[in-house]
């Protein structure tokens, strides 16, 4: 109510920023402590007011979520709260049921590749191919995200950060330095992985749900840094006129080309992730996610493997960001909002946090099927939330998981 009185406007989405800021204030003061929430709100408000007056409104998110990360690292319980006595807290096990991913027979895999790689290009119109490209890009990001969520057991909430880094890196390389799309594509993923690894390095000693909160702050801070780096990134105005890929003199600026490139890279991502899961490294990451204490007792530094899993997911998130920049031909910081991170997480939860092929199914449902409701956006949002609630209630392991 006070926010509405202060801004003189009311909208369904106006409380997102204020709600997140209030959550940071409560974390600073100590979750569960009313006096702590008051103190945290006062300190955060004063700090934000001085920072904005000195450096401008663009530093608001940087100040807010840097404070969040520092509190979680230094004193997770907050000023007046207590750090939980247990070393770790359950994440996926709290609301996602146990189960095993459904294994596809070879003929089903071949049929899916033929349907997506042959029938769609032959019979799909421009609109269907454009939607299909979006489905493939989000599926690519979500498939790699299962390495972090399903194997390493970390519910990260800041995937929009690596996606933005990959998108901006490739756009700047192609627009400012004249690089080709094909050269900028892997560099975008590599820079996203390096940036995510460097920024998240201190976070892996945080336990339980605090790591999810910390990655949320990390993603928002990353995008906020892009916003304030106006001489390089264009700031709030973004970058436009991002060139399409080319092969020789042939420009690949059609929906068909975009779809085929996205699908091929999705197949490569599926191959890499499935091979990783079956490798010795993948089994160590899975063991770390299942019981980090037991892994540590075996002489393995579990948090190093969690960091590696996060870097792998960030690399492919950066690749997805490159594809999004190419498809949109224009990017700005608002594209990479918290909603993008939540969408990726929801796709993974819908398909199954430990099921790479389930992430593809989740993307088809949440990106592809929801396009049918574009003419009625209100109904689209309602059904979007309803679908997630129904899956968590009746298929807690995800659509691509059979009961254990």
Q: What percent of the chain has pLDDT over 90?
A: 28
Residue 211: predicted pLDDT: 85
H or E element in which residue 113 lies = helix 106-114
Q: Give yes or no: residues 222 and 74 share one domain.
A: no
**For 17-33, what is each residue's pLDDT tens digit?**
777 888 888 888 887 78
Q: What is the pLDDT of residues 312-329, one digit of tens each?
A: 999 999 999 999 999 999
DSSP element (H, E) containing 328: helix 302-328
Print the domain residue range for 14: 1-85
Residue at 32 is within a domain:
yes
Do 309 and 283 belong to one domain?
A: yes
Is residue 399 domain-resident?
no
Same domain, 244 and 331: yes
Q: What angle do CA 8, 13, 17 make, to 5 degrees?
A: 85
Question: What are 50-68's pLDDT values in tens digits?
Answer: 887 887 777 778 888 888 8
Query: Residues 258, 146: one domain?
Result: yes
Could you report the per-residue pLDDT of 376-402, keeping only the tens digit for each?
566 666 776 787 788 777 777 777 775
Q: In angstroms, rounded to a whole number, what is the distance separating the alpha carbons of residues 225 and 161? A: 10
Question: How many separate domains does the chain show?
Answer: 2
Per-residue pLDDT band for 261 (boundaries 50, 70, 90) equals: very high
121 burial (CB, 10 Å; 0-12 / 13-18 / 19+) is middle
Residue labelled with tokens 């409380």: 15
């Amino acid at each position: 109510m006070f926010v509405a009185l202060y801004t003189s406007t009311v909208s369904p989405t106006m409380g997102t920023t204020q709600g997140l800021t209030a959550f940071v204030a409560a974390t600073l003061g100590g979750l569960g402590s009313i006096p702590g929430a008051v103190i945290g709100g006062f300190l955060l408000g004063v700090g934000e007011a001085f920072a904005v007056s000195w450096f401008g409104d663009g530093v608001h998110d940087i100040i807010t979520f840097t404070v969040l990360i520092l509190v979680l690292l230094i004193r997770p319980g907050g000023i007046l709260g207590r750090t939980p006595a247990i070393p770790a807290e359950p994440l996926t096990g709290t609301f996602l049921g146990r189960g095993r991913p459904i294994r596809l027979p070879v003929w089903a895999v071949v049929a899916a590749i033929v349907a997506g790689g042959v029938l769609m290009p032959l019979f799909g119109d421009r609109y269907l191919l454009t939607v299909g490209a979006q489905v493939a890009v989000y599926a690519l990001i979500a498939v790699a995200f299962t390495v972090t969520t399903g194997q390493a057991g970390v519910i990260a909430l800041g995937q929009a950060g690596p996606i933005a880094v990959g998108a901006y890196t490739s756009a700047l390389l192609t627009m400012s330095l004249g690089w080709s799309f094909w050269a900028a594509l892997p560099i975008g993923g590599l820079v996203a992985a390096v940036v995510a690894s460097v920024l998240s390095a201190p976070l892996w000693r945080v336990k339980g749900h605090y790591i999810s909160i910390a990655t949320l702050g990390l993603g928002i801070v990353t995008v906020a840094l892009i916003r304030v780096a106006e001489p390089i990134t264009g700031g709030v105005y973004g970058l436009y006129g991002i060139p399409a890929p080319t092969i020789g003199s042939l420009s690949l600026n059609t929906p068909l080309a975009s779809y085929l490139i996205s699908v091929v890279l999705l197949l490569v991502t599926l191959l890499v992730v499935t091979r990783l899961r079956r490798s010795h490294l993948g089994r160590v990451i899975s063991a770390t996610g299942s019981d980090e204490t037991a892994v540590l007792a075996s002489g393995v530094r579990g948090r190093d493997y969690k960091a590696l899993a996060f870097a792998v997911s960030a690399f492919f998130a950066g690749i997805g960001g490159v594809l999004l920049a190419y498809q949109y031909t224009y990017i700005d910081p608002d594209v990479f909002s918290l909603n993008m991170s939540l969408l990726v997480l929801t796709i993974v939860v819908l398909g199954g946090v430990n099921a790479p092929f389930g992430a593809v199914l989740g993307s088809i449902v949440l990106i592809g099927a929801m396009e049918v409701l574009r003419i009625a956006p209100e109904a689209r949002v309602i059904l979007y939330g309803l679908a997630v609630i129904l899956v968590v209630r009746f298929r807690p392991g995800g659509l691509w998981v059979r009961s254990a």
